A and B are shown apart, each in its own frame.
Chain A
């Protein structure tokens, strides 16, 4: 050996939301932590809608508002936009809980937010090692993980515990045997978006927002995804709009659709085009979202290692949750690592406490409850096609004066639905949706 052995108490793979959370908690617990990031800096590989939930941030950094997080706007209005072929029905809520200060959720851009989040871990004492890709594990002959191998020369980092937060492409989890197959296209949404620059005042006027301290987060259903399973989104940043959509990868492949064509069609929609008109494209990009839910999760631990965040499929697709799960899971893995250090036992017996901790909180409970939802939209395409169009047509009729008796009008509205789907089947759809959400 001509080089000195690099040794830490713990290694975290990936300085995203889960990884930096894990590093933060372990460093505060007194461990010597290496936080390894393959990008130039944390956040550089990450792409999302999106909004960050403060309940998760506050659990790790209670005084987060004093630390000037790079938030864009608070979410003060949230809801659904139902897009028909040439119309739009908006169902959003504002006021009440959405007026809380600090807000429940803040719209963010990941390149900024993740850098700030990792900085909290660094300030707690973790060592950030950027521009370094982890390619394998160091393992004892008996299999226990005792560190990682990076792509740097002499790039072995020894540590009795490794927390894997590698993101959706879970190559390391596969290498370690936490899951015995690669991801499946039907469990993945490919999300793609544009960040479009607009003056702050223009955004406020177009979206009906009082000032830059008010923001909109909308999920867009219907025509946005060509009637196929998928969901669009609109988020108002301070001086830009994040707008895009996610569709299932298997369908993009089977229908041979180009994501950027679908996104442009969405931006050209008569109800959307005026919102982004005159804006300048700042960035386009795409990312996979692991939407397979509970059934797609890998084994969460083994001797000397745990896994958290997107790498462990911790996403609740219906509620757009995932960032919060990543943060909390990273924290719980870190607490388990601290327990392992205090006991001097890094075997799966102690690592299994991580799964116990996940089971006590909302993460595993929610993922179990929603386990049927990921298949639901695939088997019920009418939610993307029939209903948004019905909503637009019937509301349009409701608010029109035709000079006809109202009874005829309501019969016509009912007809607009039954032409598309019988009432019995519509009732059935509601029951199946409820089943998939309630976990019945």
Chain B
């Protein structure tokens, strides 16, 4: 049962008693441990078409990104905090509409793991 894409994407729910056991972590506390060389001139992540996000019912990118790059702005648009990205690639592939543009940061920029 491969993940359905586009408008056919369906969200699933864990049993309620299991879901309740998940804590609500403030991801910024985790990001403070990461070292970045931030490219102030260019983003390497972008939304290809904001209209696609507008009709995306479940917006899974708000959840599965391991560093919470994607958030919902007050205007209802998806905001992209590319500065926090660890370049895993999940958003490019996990977006049901493949609506996230993804490139590698320019050489030397982006995350620099100290431990890995």
Contact = CB atoms under 8 A, between A and B. Distances in A.
Contact of B34 (A171, A256, A260, A284): A284
B64 A259 contact: yes
Contacts of A40: 37, 108, 112
Contacts, number: 186
Interface residues on B, range: 35 or more
A38 B105 CA distance: 8
A252 B108 contact: no
A285 B23 contact: no
A260 B90 contact: no
Interface string A223-262: 0001100000000000010000000011111111111111
Contact of A287 (B21, B27, B88): B88
Interface string B8-36: 01111110001001111101001101100
Contact of B116 (A47, A168, A169, A256): A47
Interface string A254-279: 11111111101100100000000000
B3 A252 contact: no
B92 A283 contact: no
B107 A190 contact: no
A150 interface: yes
A145 interface: no
Given A252-B64, A260-B30, A44 B113 contact: yes
A265 B22 contact: yes
B3 A186 contact: yes
A198 interface: no
A130 B106 CA distance: 11
Majority SS at the chain A contact face: mixed
Interface string A403-430: 0000000000000000000000000000
Nearest to A129: B107
A240 to B, nearest CB: 8
B52 to A, nearest CB: 16
Interface of B: 1-3, 9-14, 18, 21-25, 27, 30-31, 33-34, 37, 58, 60, 62-64, 66-68, 86-90, 92-94, 96, 98, 102-108, 110-116
19 contacts: A38-B107, A39-B110, A40-B37, A40-B108, A43-B116, A45-B113, A114-B116, A130-B108, A133-B105, A169-B87, A171-B104, A188-B93, A190-B88, A249-B64, A252-B94, A264-B23, A283-B33, A285-B67, A285-B113
